[in-house]
Structure 1
């Protein structure tokens, strides 16, 4: 029974460590996406052209 308490304590400590690492990564800007917004308009233009060509063919 004492093994369960030890494993539970260790797992909670590991979970807290990963949560703190995640919070530090978010605050430092690790997950900021600087590339996609600058090229998003290019992808939308291609989709609009594809939709127009499909509607003209029908």
Structure 2
């Protein structure tokens, strides 16, 4: 029974830490534009196609 005196405050404290972390993430904008991040993974505009093999070969003299 004395272990409950330790476990109950510990579980309440961990719950409060989780709640504070969730509220911080909401205020910092972590959950805004959820579909934009998913599309950014698929549609990467920074990648350029590799040059064709003809362009990399040097012309013989």
Which bin holds the TM-score, normalised by the shorter protein? 0.5 to 0.7
What is the 5 A alignment of 1:1-58? 1-33=1-33, 35=36
Q: TM-score, normalised by structure 2?
A: 0.54
Structure 2, unaligned runs of 5 or more: 38-61
Q: CA deviation at 1:5?
A: 1.6
| Number of matched pairs | 36
Backbone CA RMSD of aligned residues: 1.6
What TM-score do the two structures reach when normalised by structure 1?
A: 0.56
Off by >2 Å, runs of 4+ in structure 1:
none
